Every structure is written in C-alpha cells, then in structure tokens.
Amino acid sequence: MPTSQPVLRYKQPEKRYDVIVIGAGLHGLAAAYNLARYHRVGRIAVLERRYIGFGGSGRNTEMIRANKRAHETLPFYKESLEMWDGLSAELEWNLMVQKKGLIALAHSDGELAVMRMLSDSQRRAGIKIDMLGPEEVKKMVPSLDVSDKPALPVAGAQFHPEGGTVHHDAALWGYAKAASRCGVDICAGVEVTGFYVEGGKVNGVRTNVGNIAAGKVHVAVGGYSSEIARMLGVKYPVVTIPMQVMTTEVMAPFLDYYVASPRLHWYTQQTLKGDLILGGQLDPWQSWNSSTTWQECSERVAFILEYFPDLAHARVVRSWSGLCDCTGDSAPVMGPSGIDGLSLDIAWGYYGFKSTPACGKYAAEYIATGKVPEKIRHFGLDRFYNRQRVREIII
C-alpha cells in the first residue's frame, strides 16, 4: 500500500545494547527481526557502515532453491525454501515470491549421471525433483535450442519445481521494516572498527561514532568477513571472490522458468518486470573490487546466446558484481566463533540469499539460547579441525 510515511527511520546508536548485529544485509536484518520477534533478549541494534543492502543482499540474482547435495545440509535449505512461502504475510510486505521452477541443463551423459545422483539425495531429503529429456525441456522452454547446434548440446535436465525467485529489495525492506517495528535500532553509517574482548568474552564494539557496549555481537557482514577477522586477530576459512551479473532491457514475456547450466556457469530468468537477469560466474581470482569484469560477462552472454539464439537482438543495460566469501567446501560458517558472546553467520558466498529465512531463524535461536541448533550443527568452524567438512557441490 502506498504510504507517505517512511517504512523505517535510521537511528543513532545508543551507548549500550544487549545484542549488536554487524551488517544490515538480509542475514543481519533477519537475525535481528527473529531475535526481537521470537526471543526475549532486550535491546537490539543493527550497525551498518554504508546503507542497508549495500553488499550481497542488493547484488544477488534473486534465486531461491534447495537442490544441493550434502545430506547434512539439505534439511536446512529445504526449510529455508519453504519459509519463503509464509514470509510475505509474516513481514506484512509483498516479497514477490514466485516459485516458477528451476531447470538445470546437462550437456553430457556424465553430467546426467551426476544429476541423477543429486536428485536421489534431494528426493531422500523430501525435496521435489524430476529428470527431464531434451524434448520435455523444449516443451517447457520453447525458445531454448535443444538441437545439436551448440558446441555442447542439451542432453537432459534436472527440474526443481519449487525453485524460483524472490524480489531481493522487497525482502530486504520487508525485514528492515519488520525489525524496525519490533523495536530494533537500525543504524546506518556506523562502522565497526574494533572489538572489546576481555577474558575470551566480547564486551562491545568500537565504532566511528564511539564505543557501544554489548554482551552479544553477531557478525553478518557477508563478503567482508575477513575484515572482521583482522580486527579480532584471527583468520576465517574464506576467500573473497566477486560474482558477475547483468540485466537486459525489458522484453515481452517468453521465459517461464529459471534456466541454468551448471557446467557452463550461466543462468538466466525473466523477472516479473520483463528484463532478463543473466549470470553468473565467479571471477577466477580473489578480489575485493566489485566492478564488472568484461571477460566473465562476455563469456556468459556468448554461452547463453548459444542456447537462446533469438536473444541476439537483446541489449544488456546494466551489470554489477557482488563479493562472495567462499569456503573450500562450499558450505557456510554459522554458530560459535571461539569468543564468548560473538556469533558468526559468514561465508555464504554463492547462496546466502535463498537461505535468509532459515539463517535468521537459527542465528537468532543460537544467539538467544547459546546452544547450536541441530540444523546448523554442521556449519561450525570446528568442522575444519575434526574432518567434518561438508561434502557439497560448488553450486
């Protein structure tokens, strides 16, 4: 509903809080909202050094899905995918959740075999998944070239009917508004520059507007987690790599599904507005520079044109990239940090957006109770020391 009132007001931070969340992206706001709504933890502040959604929350490709591999983590992704359904009503904000279905193309028998294996794991976890032949794919996506003209023809596909899209800005503002309404102070322009840690316990943070005391601090800074690590004098198992995304001009509706090729690292979808979102390959080297790289973008476009030759006339109107903090096992780091009172929600690299609702729920549960919830038990930092790394695929 249009309104003349702003949906939220930024606040100046007070001198003392019970919980401080660093980072006003989707994960930080979701954690703060869940804490304020479902747990009694007192005063909560979200500190953001730029503006809300500056990082990955505003730079993703809006995809939601649960077609992962590792059996330890599939229930978590499944729950997150289901949570999007009720979220618009809960946040009283239309998130434009559209479970249009995700088609992942295979280009060889070997890839089809891998997809069948993935499908079995996913079905076992209760996720709906189907295998399709090239003709079935053609019926669903008439504009797709399934002939043997492309260098790597379509050999088949995996169909994930519950995958789809959510408008990322809507999700961001929905969470920000709901958190604000629950009494969370959202403070933009407040940069954390250090931590007060005494006897292995966190006491507060140092910021550009003065010191703020807090017994609990939650780190949800997305791709910038290693900067937090340096303030604490530790290292995290992440490398920061940018991912490239582009969008075309608005076209008449022609693409009903999210279509991806895991092999050639491209995916595309037509948004409700009509533009195509094209992505997305990680740059081949570590970088903290979020400018567009020509090589990655032009390769994506060339691959997509092989399979959608009718798009040759379409013009790319915008491109952007976001920083992904990637772990070696493609799973995130959540839970204890080794410092009392300091909790982590980092390393979400490639799939932080789709996990937002469940992350908010379980991060809040961990902060409030101090016990690691069962569903994020496998995401701990300790997995790197006791041979419990998650056996995940890269995307």
Partner 1 sequence: MPFLIDCPNCGRRSPYEFKFGGECKRAPDPGADVKAWCDYLYLYENMSGVQDEWWYHTMGCRSWLKIRRNTVTHEIIEE
Q: Read off the amino acid at residue 190.
A: V
Task: Compare residues 273 and 385 and give the one whose CB is closer to partner 1.
Answer: 385
Shortest CB 345 distance to partner 1, Å: 17
CA–CA distance, 355 with 348 (Å, rounded to integer): 9
CB of 11 to partner 1, least distance (A): 28
Query: Which of these segments, 15-23, 94-102, 165-173, 237-245, binds partner 1 (CB under 8 A)?
Result: 237-245
Of residues 324-363, those binding partner 1 (CB under 8 A): 325, 328
- Considering only 224, 266, 350, 362, the residue that binds partner 1 (CB under 8 A) is 224
Long-range Cβ contacts of 372-379 (<8 Å, 24+ apart):
372/335, 372/336, 375/75, 375/76, 375/79, 376/76, 376/334, 376/335, 377/72, 378/70, 378/72, 378/73, 378/331, 379/73, 379/331, 379/332, 379/333, 379/334, 379/335
Shortest distance, position 285 Cβ to partner 1, whole Å: 4
Min dist. Cβ of residue 287 to partner 1 (A): 6
Q: Residue 212, SS3?
A: strand
Q: Which is nearer to partner 1, 81 or 297 (CB)?
A: 297
Answer for which of 284, 309, 338, 370 binds partner 1 (CB under 8 A) is 284
Question: Is the CB of 85 or the CB of 382 nearer to partner 1?
Answer: 382
Which lies closer to partner 1 via its Cβ, residue 61 or residue 240? 240
CB of 235 to partner 1, least distance (A): 4
Q: Between 356-369 and 26-38, two packed helices, what is the crossing angle to 10 degrees?
A: 50
Tell me which of 7, 50, 117, 288 binds partner 1, using CB under 8 A.
Answer: 288
> Cα-Cα-Cα-Cα dihedral of 42, 374, 24, 281, to 10°?
180
Residue 233 sits in the site that holds partner 1 (CB under 8 A) = no
What does each C-alpha distance from 224 to 68, 102, 150, 233 come to in angstroms?
A: 25, 30, 39, 15
Q: How many CA atoms lie within 13 A of 322 on its CB side?
A: 27
Query: Whose Cβ is closer to partner 1: residue 151's or residue 285's?
Result: 285
> Which residue, 114 or 239, has its beta carbon nearer to partner 1?
239
CA distances from 309 to 92, 157, 319 (A): 41, 19, 21
Our finding on whether 286 is near partner 1 (CB under 8 A) is yes
Contact set with partner 1 (CB under 8 A): 224, 226-227, 229-230, 235-240, 284-289, 291, 293-295, 325, 328, 384-385
